[in-house]
Amino acid sequence: MVTRTTMKPASSRTSSSQIIDARIAALGDWRGEVLARVRKLIREADPAMVEEVKWRKPSNSMLGVPVWEHDGIVCTGETYKAVVKLTFAKGASLPDPTGLFNSSLDGNVRRAIDIREDDKIDERALKALIRAAVAANTSARAGRSARARKKAMGD
């Protein structure tokens, strides 16, 4: 698992993992437990996943949004009063045979999973979805690289 560090002076740098740890601890309830569990499943599904925190602003107490990336954004993990929301950046293009996606279903690109307090997480299906998202990102990046090489060669 790779983490990136926020851009601060060297003496006060905080890793994204530490910020997410702090966010989970600050929640102190079922949402923190769910976010921690989902984070663990994401790491298990793809050990090469990069964990970052983006969009730090006053409306989220400067804690930002956990973001997991592998050749692009795979998903984000946001916490709300009634749900923990996992939003998959390219979810509309991913196979979802078990019907995990239950939110943001009308969009052309994203899809989300809203996890409520008493919901059971289908771990196998979530890991498969994460792996499919990584595969989509990786193949898209490979396609971009091939087109760039072709263009550089003058074709």
pLDDT band at 44 (very low <50, low <70, confident <90, very high): very high
pLDDT for 51 beyond 90 = yes
Task: Say how many C-beta atoms besides its own lie within 10 A of residue 115's C-beta.
Answer: 25
Averaged pLDDT for residues 15-43: 95
pLDDT for 150 beyond 60 = no
- pTM as predicted: 0.81
pLDDT for 53 beyond 50 = yes
What is the structure's pLDDT at 142? 64
Q: What are the strands, taking DSSP E only, across the chain?
A: 2-3, 50-54, 65-69, 73-79, 84-88, 111-115
Contact 65, 75 (CB under 8 A): no
Whole-number Å distance between alpha carbons of 2 and 10? 19
- CATH class in words for 2-152: alpha beta
What is the structure's pLDDT at 7? 41
Q: In the predicted model, what is the mean pLDDT of the chain? A: 87
Averaged pLDDT for residues 23-37: 95
pLDDT for 57 beyond 90 = no
Whole-number Å distance between alpha carbons of 123 and 48? 19
